[in-house]
Copies of this chain bind each other. A is one copy, B any other.
Amino acid sequence: MKYGIALFPPKNIQDFANSYRKRYDSHYALIPPHVTLKSPFDADDQEVKTIVKELRKIAAETDLIPLKITKFSSFYPVNNVIYLKIEPNETLERLHKQLYSGIFTDKPEYVFVPHITIGRDLSNAEYADVYGQLKMQTVHFEETVDRFHLLYQLENGSWTVYETFRVGKEQE
């Protein structure tokens, strides 16, 4: 099965992201607004058991995750993805690194740029138009997130949550 690891931002940020995703993101119906922590990977039932144990261990050592968003950005010219940029922080960086080391032998395809995609698969003209407007907008969210999720993909491309991992040592 195909698995992925992601975190969901708080509801206010998800609602904000969806107001754009509805029009611009072809994955709108497949998964809620999210920050990908580890790209989709294949694992069988036995491997997933090991992965879940490892994720519990990693989560137990992870602090609450700051999520500061101050602007829209884009991966152009690599692709036409438009996203809400998450300010890099040590907690996210370390978490990402841990998800690509130890038992995780695959390597990240790109440098880690934490983000919430709000547009993709746009034509060049549409991309230029939409991004031209969004990059002028001011955005400000400052939140913390206390959990991330392991998800698996269904045949129709949508994602179902398999398990939640809570972070932040002060949690009860």
- Does A140 have its Cβ within 8 Å of any Cβ on chain B? no
Distance from A54 Cβ to chain B, minimum over Cβ atoms (Å): 13
Measured CB to CB, the closest approach of chain B to A60, in angstroms, equals: 15
Interface residues in chain A, defined as those with a beta carbon under 8 Å from any beta carbon in chain B: 1, 8, 11, 14-15, 18, 22, 28-29, 32, 53, 147, 149, 152, 154-156, 158-164, 166, 172
- Chain B residues near A32 (CB, 8 Å)? 154, 158-160
**Contacts A15-B154, A29-B29, A154-B32; is A8 near B164 (CB within 8 Å)?**
no
Residues of B within 8 A of A152 (CB): 11
The residue of chain B having its C-beta at the shortest distance from the C-beta of A22 within the complex is B156
